[in-house]
């Protein structure tokens, strides 16, 4: 069903009943964003998915501040990219349950942000999506463009268009950044039945991408993440995203350890990839990042579940009053 999703079939039945219960009036034209982004924002689907019933009305209310009157809602035309249902996962080694029924749906062109306390399961969720071996999925489903992610190896998920930027990427001594990127890029070219690029051809392809992130060329000659500062590691992750491309970028705390300038560079690069087809799932603790990359939705995760979904105002409440305020809402 998810391979050709329309709004009516893609949504769980509960959403329908919810809609009946709290019918929303057309939203007032109250802009909370610069006009330049309002059209893309307004085209994003503001419907409620994968949120526990109790919180849905509140979320709906929060969303009402978003300007949707500029263009009619086009949610029906958009394709469902990722649909996560009742996902549960444990730490493979200890069996400790981290994810306790996560529900989320991401459509093409949407930017989602997941916030939450330390240990709430945000990063685990990101890692489970890309198949990290430290975690084991014990229940639920993860469908990506109608394909079951659980049946796919990590590299297949990557080639299918999923990209996760690591919170703390590992060092790989002895493998240069250029070789690593070339290998990864050629794996993509093979998948698309395109000829692989030689190191020299690849250099020509990758070189302009460095500018995008204000990176020096010698970056490519250094070994992957070896001796990189925190900021360099984050930039390197985004460089990989720029080189490889992705339909769904999962950015795990891409803002932690970055100074304002670096954050601006990284955000600029991420915004550069945003198209009506590409989606982003960001994990962050801070409002700051969300001011650079504007999310369509903000999800609050707590104890392995998404407990609240809303717009930027959630992040603002969080920033001011902490997670306690959200829990009490």
List contacts with another protein (CB under 8 A).
130-133, 153-155, 158-159, 164, 166, 169-170, 172-175, 179-180, 183-184, 187-188, 191, 223-224, 240, 244
Q: 7 vs 162, which CB is nearer to another protein?
A: 162
What is the smallest separation between the CB atom of 96 and another protein, expressed in angstroms? Answer: 19
What is the smallest separation between the CB atom of 250 and another protein, expressed in angstroms? Answer: 10
Q: 136 vs 179, which CB is nearer to another protein?
A: 179
C-beta of residue 289 within 8 angstroms of C-beta of residue 254: yes
What is the smallest separation between the CB atom of 202 and another protein, expressed in angstroms? Answer: 14
Q: 156 vs 319, which CB is nearer to another protein?
A: 156
**CA 186 – CA 183 distance, rounded (Å):** 5
Q: 57 vs 244, which CB is nearer to another protein?
A: 244
Q: 223 vs 313, which CB is nearer to another protein?
A: 223
What is the smallest separation between the CB atom of 223 and another protein, expressed in angstroms? Answer: 8
Q: Which residue in the block uniquely carries the two structure tokens 């249902």?
A: 85
Could you tell me which of 274, 261, 198 has the C-alpha nearest to residue 235?
Answer: 261
In DSSP terms, 308 is beta-bridged to 300
Host H or E run for residue 273: helix 260-273
What is the smallest separation between the CB atom of 132 and another protein, expressed in angstroms? Answer: 6
Q: 85 vs 188, which CB is nearer to another protein?
A: 188
**CA 177 – CA 174 distance, rounded (Å):** 10
Q: Is 195 exposed, middle or buried, given 0-12, 13-18 or 19+ CB atoms closer than 10 A? A: exposed
For 2, which DSSP code?
T
What is the smallest separation between the CB atom of 235 and another protein, expressed in angstroms? Answer: 16
**CA 291 – CA 318 distance, rounded (Å):** 14
**CA 234 – CA 216 distance, rounded (Å):** 14
**CA 44 – CA 67 distance, rounded (Å):** 11
For 132, which DSSP code?
-
């Amino acid at each position: 069903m998810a391979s050709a999703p329309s709004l009516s079939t893609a949504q769980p039945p509960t959403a329908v009943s919810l809609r009946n219960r709290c019918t929303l009036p057309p939203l007032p034209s109250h802009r909370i964003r610069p006009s330049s982004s309002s059209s893309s924002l307004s085209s994003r689907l503001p419907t409620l998915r994968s949120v526990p019933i109790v919180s849905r009305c509140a979320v709906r209310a929060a969303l009402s501040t978003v300007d949707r009157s500029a263009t009619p809602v086009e949610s029906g035309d958009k394709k469902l990219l990722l649909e996560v249902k009742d996902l549960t996962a444990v730490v493979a080694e200890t069996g400790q349950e981290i994810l306790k029924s996560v529900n989320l749906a991401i459509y093409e062109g949407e930017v989602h942000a997941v916030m939450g306390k330390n240990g709430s399961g945000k990063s685990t969720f990101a890692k489970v999506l890309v198949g990290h071996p430290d975690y084991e999925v014990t229940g639920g489903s993860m469908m990506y463009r109608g394909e079951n992610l659980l049946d796919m190896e990590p590299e297949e998920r990557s080639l299918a268009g999923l990209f996760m930027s690591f919170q703390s990427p590992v060092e790989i001594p002895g493998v240069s950044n250029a070789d690593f990127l070339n290998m990864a890029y050629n794996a993509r070219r093979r998948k698309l039945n395109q000829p692989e690029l030689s190191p020299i051809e690849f250099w020509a392809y990758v070189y302009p991408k460095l500018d995008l992130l204000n990176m020096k060329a010698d970056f490519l000659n250094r070994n992957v993440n070896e001796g990189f500062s925190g900021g360099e590691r984050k930039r390197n992750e985004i460089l990989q995203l720029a080189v490889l491309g992705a339909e769904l970028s999962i950015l795990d705390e891409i803002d932690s350890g970055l100074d304002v300038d670096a954050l601006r560079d990284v955000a600029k690069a991420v915004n550069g990839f945003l198209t009506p087809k590409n989606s982003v799932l960001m994990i962050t603790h801070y409002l700051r990042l969300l001011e650079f990359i504007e999310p369509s939705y903000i999800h609050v995760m707590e104890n392995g579940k998404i407990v609240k979904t809303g717009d930027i105002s959630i992040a603002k409440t969080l920033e001011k009053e902490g997670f306690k305020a959200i829990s009490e809402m």
